[in-house]
Structure 1
Amino acid sequence: MASHLDLEEQEQLEQLKAFWNRWGNLITGVVTLVVAVFAAWTGWNWWQREQGVKASAMYAELERVARAGDLEKTQQVFADIKDRFAKTTYAGQAALVAAKLQADKGKADEARATLTWATAQAQPNPLRDVARLRLAGLHMDAKQYDEAAKALDAIESADFAALQADRRGDLALLKAQPDQAREQFKKAYTTLKAEDQYRRLVEVKLASLGVDAETLKSTEGAAK
């Protein structure tokens, strides 16, 4: 009986050896790959969290010095965030804060450069559209109308359609094109929600061009 079991075990052992000889390298490779992928994924998540924590701390510092009106320090911190954490949301937000202070301090060229960076690099995309809207405004202030139009045309999100139209209306007025301005302000007005306070400002712009916003409200009601 013992001999029979020994022979059976020996046969099973030989089968196992044959199986391992045939598939051992593949199994080892697959296991190694799975372990490597898991380690890489874990490491990447850890690195992302670390990046986020560090970027958050730097952004908090940038906000602090910007509120204090320290332009030089704000620009230094923004440069650090841009160099080290360009792919984080904080970098795009930092660009918006830095550009506002630059513009407030009369550094329009620097503000435009900062916003131009944000239009290409900020994450996620809605931050890029905010930068495009603000950049268009600075271009208009500098009478750089073609550049302003390009910035507005580049806006991607439908969420900014009303503000985009409003800015296009402002641009048309600056270019002495009241008919185009009127149409853009109408678009902005009808796109904005009734409870949106910004709608009141667009209503004033329409009134200055001889358009009664009440007629647009009537049209909205009919459309519904």
Structure 2
Amino acid sequence: TPTPGLEIAYRYQPAEAAGEVGGDWFDVIPLPGDKTALVVGDVMGSGINAAATMGQLRTAARTLAELELDPATVLTRLDHTATGLGHTMATCVIAVYDPHRGRCRIATAGHLPPVRTSPGRPPELLDLPTGAPLGVGGVPFEAAALDLDVGDQLVLYTDGLVETRDEDIDVRLRALTALLHDPGRPLEETCDLLLAELRRPEGRDDVALLVARTRPLPGASQS
């Protein structure tokens, strides 16, 4: 799928230990005006019910994003959908990138923060309004605007990449950002590196990972 102004790589790994399908997903959605929506989500739980719920939320997220709604509005509608499914909780992050403006709008629903990398600057966990998980019902969501330069990266992921039973999540997030100090590394190598260094062999949760790097639009002149 063409993604003007973006280079993209992704991975999905099922849970090693659970032996069950999970509820993690990612999506890359082309939009009018050369925009692209990036979505990563995680339905809590595992097994066929989580997978079925994931399928419904993924389809709903794609449909809503294609209406060119603001990410916060997409999450509000998804929250309504999740509430209607009953006994469903999920986290989600949605980013919509406009390569003509070099701007990204991002909203999260209880999801771990994306990482931004920029040439010449240390990687940073984005400080975004966290929002409540989908399925809580009636909690407002807020989108943040982020200006991106050519060569900047966004790393979106589910908690299975970083959460463990024996280490604090802040320690694991620092380990994640420490692995992203080379923003020029090929994206496929970045995906492999993150999974190799952070993923535990006994991982009890599935992992979705989506990495996007901005690049010039075809025919655009670089200043």
**TM-score when scaled to structure 1?**
0.28
Q: Which has the higher strand share?
A: 2
Higher alpha-carbon Rg: 1
**TM-score when scaled to structure 2?**
0.28
